[in-house]
Structure 1
Amino acid sequence: MVEEFYTIEQVAELSNKSQKTVRRHIAANKLVASKSQNKYRILKSEYERWINSDDSNEELNRETFAKIDYQNNTYDDIVNWIDITDDWNKDGWSNVNYRNGYTFVDLFSGAGGLSCGLTMAGFTPVASVEIMEAAVETYKYNFIEQKGFNETVETRDIREEEVKQNLYDEIGERHVNLVVGGFPCQGFSMSGNRVITDERNSLYLEMKKIVEHLKPEYVVMENVEGLRSMMNGAIEKKIIEDYKKIGYDINVTILNSADYGVAQTRRRVIFIGNRVGGKNYHPQPFLDKEHYKTLGEEIERFMNLPNDKSINHIITKHSKEMEERIKAVPEGKSLYGNYSDAWKKSPWDKPSCTVKENHGGVNLHPKLPRVLTPRELAALQSFPDDFIFKGSKKWQLVQIGNAVPPLLGKAIGIAVKKALDIVME
């Protein structure tokens, strides 16, 4: 007799837990599941074992799980805020002749959101490291072919010692003032499984090795807000202590992209450190909720634009039935009630919800019966319209969702530039 299987949805209903929680337990191997045709199946006997054991209790498994209600969380951060508005109108992306005299290396660069922001702030890119082939193609096209920067960009795995050595050889005698890295955050993400043992959670150590070798004056690390709560703050503390051991004093706080002109609510934890006795400045927010840039302001220019693959404006075709369903979704609500952060229709007159990497199923157009195009999503991330993404539509969406918003990167870059101006006098 074939034993009965449950789906994730059924397990969630039976256990009175969310589907996200069930997936987290599967990722942690607390609940054993098999996968068939991209869907998980859980044996009835395995479900009964799990629900009747300590494995189903996250409070008893704190070494594996980390949870937080971040809306109610406060941090006693020591932050050195600095006004960046005097440099805000300078743009080293549209005017590549504007350089501030400082160089940077971008690790885990993705398509180049943070790099784009730093070049806006006047920094000159020297090299980048990224493992995703499509993202490297995007980076090369925009920074080398279109903007003419003389930097080394290759598809490579930062964990390999040969890759690190090649990076050092390619940089050669050039001095690097800043190393930045949005080390992979899937293991830390509040929307992901957030399993402590996820091997991606230690990739910041690979970045630390490179920082220790290159010895830049400053270092910037970016990650999701959920990192701060892992193991009751022990992960964040370890990162700070590890950098202290190699001579870098770190200040950390959370920045919201909307505070810097991005038409999107996107909170990220930003570590800034230096080894030269300087200040670690974070950019002072210069917008408040009353003056945030709205989704409508950012994407209205694309409303009547026909499908154009050359600029990533790839319009998804929906069935008539799906179009009617999308039309019926109220602003601020989701097409699917159980997935509040997916297929969501953000209000036209407010900043967008966070643009995520899930192949386009997150953001519905508030006025048209379709999902947003890659070009529209890139605009909500604050990418310039001349920044073109390579690869298939699927990989364009992955790159866009994973990126640091360039305007947030610009704000951070201006703050670091001001700090460097002081210590380099």
Structure 2
Amino acid sequence: MPDDEIPEADVVIGGPPCQGFSNLGSKDVNDPRNQLWKEYLRFVQIARPRAFVIENVDRFGKSLEYQLLLDEADHGMIKEYELSSGVLLAADYGVAQRRPRTIIIGSRVGRIPLPEPTHSKLPMLGREPWRTVRERIGGLPEQPATTELPEATWAFKGQTVPGQFKWLDLHFGRKPRELSLRRYDCVPPGGGRFDLPDELLPSLLA
């Protein structure tokens, strides 16, 4: 997007591509997508939000690109911003998934600390236990009734946008390919892609 088309914003939130850092990706330090955080900072520099949030895989926090990003807060594109950063585990915040993510919060109106965990794996004073997938979605119908969102709209700041949706409206499915169905049948409870036979592996993993 050209500079003159980037609007002003109070907050910018985004996740630059992670494929070059992810354990499931190529881990290629030369992957050109690894440097797209610079494009994100270009948006921040022009939109001048009061705060911004960057999310990426946990390995991003150990990369050279991460250090280069921090340098931009010292003397570069985001030198107006104070940063808070670290690796947060989604399960520690009530999400039914053990998903660690590097989080960076930048603020030019005073430092914003990373949020304190609200949940924990082991019993801990003041924290709730980790949630399970069954607790979160166990009440949903096993088979979604549709593969589409309902055609609902509402007015928001003078514009017509999709929504508002009830919780069951968001329980829609997809039409898996035959190959996907065969892969599903090979994965036992608690399993994953490592349970697939060689002939069903995606070409990148074969």
Shorter-chain-normalised TM-score: which range? 0.5 to 0.7
Give the AA of the match of 1:197.
N
Q: Hey, what does 2:95 align to over in structure 1?
A: 262
Give the AA of the match of 2:67.
K
Preserved CA contact (<8 Å) 1:227 1:235: yes
Is 1:180 equivalent to 2:13 in the alignment? yes
CA offsets 1:162-209 (integer angstroms, 9 cap, x no match): 2x31123xx4xxxx3222221111122122112111111111111212
Q: Matched residues, percent identical?
A: 27
Is 1:294 equivalent to 2:124 in the alignment? no
Task: Determine the C-alpha separation between the residues in 2 that align with 1:271 and 1:314.
Answer: 33
Q: 2:115 aligns with which of 283, 286, 302?
A: 283
In the TM superposition, residue 218 of structure 1 has moved relative to its aligned partner by 1.6
Runs of 4+ in 1 over 4 A off after TM superposition: 315-319, 321-327
In the TM superposition, residue 215 of structure 1 has moved relative to its aligned partner by 2.1
Preserved CA contact (<8 Å) 1:325 1:335: no
Q: 1:215 aligns with which of 25, 28, 48?
A: 48
Q: 2:105 aligns with which of 258, 264, 272?
A: 272
Is 1:236 equivalent to 2:66 in the alignment? yes
TM-score with structure 1 setting the length: 0.35
Q: Hey, what does 2:174 align to over in structure 1?
A: 314
Give the structure with the higher percent strand.
Answer: 2
Give the AA of the match of 2:146.
D
Q: Hey, what does 2:159 align to over in structure 1?
A: none
Preserved CA contact (<8 Å) 2:61 2:86: no
Taking a change above 3 Å as real, the CA distance of residues 215 and 288 of structure 1, as seen in their structure-2 partners, is: same
CA offsets 1:189-235 (integer angstroms, 9 cap, x no match): 122112111111111111212222222222211111111222xxx32
TM-score with structure 2 setting the length: 0.68
Q: 1:251 aligns with which of 84, 106, 118?
A: 84
Give the structure with the higher percent helix.
Answer: 1
In the TM superposition, residue 243 of structure 1 has moved relative to its aligned partner by 2.5
Taking a change above 3 Å as real, the CA distance of residues 186 and 236 of structure 1, as seen in their structure-2 partners, is: same
Task: Determine the C-alpha separation between the residues in 2 that align with 1:266 and 1:212.
Answer: 29
Preserved CA contact (<8 Å) 1:187 1:193: yes
Give the AA of the match of 1:243.
A
Give the AA of the match of 1:166.
E
Q: Secondary structure at the match of 2:18?
A: coil
Q: Hey, what does 2:190 align to over in structure 1?
A: 332
* Contiguous gaps of at least 5 residues in structure 1: 1-157, 344-357, 359-425
Is 1:227 equivalent to 2:33 in the alignment? no
Matched residue count: 168
Taking a change above 3 Å as real, the CA distance of residues 315 and 326 of structure 1, as seen in their structure-2 partners, is: farther
Task: Determine the C-alpha separation between the residues in 2 that align with 1:235 and 1:303.
Answer: 43
The structure, 1 or 2, with the larger RCO (C-alpha pairs under 8 Å, 6+ apart) is 1
Q: Hey, what does 1:166 align to over in structure 2?
A: 5
Give the AA of the match of 1:302.
L
Task: Determine the C-alpha separation between the residues in 1 that align with 2:147 and 2:178.
Answer: 17
Preserved CA contact (<8 Å) 2:12 2:52: yes
In the TM superposition, residue 335 of structure 1 has moved relative to its aligned partner by 6.6
CA offsets 1:307-366 (integer angstroms, 9 cap, x no match): 4223522364869x9599548x3x323474478xx99xxxxxxxxxxxxxx9xxxxxxxx
Q: 2:27 aligns with which of 181, 187, 194?
A: 194
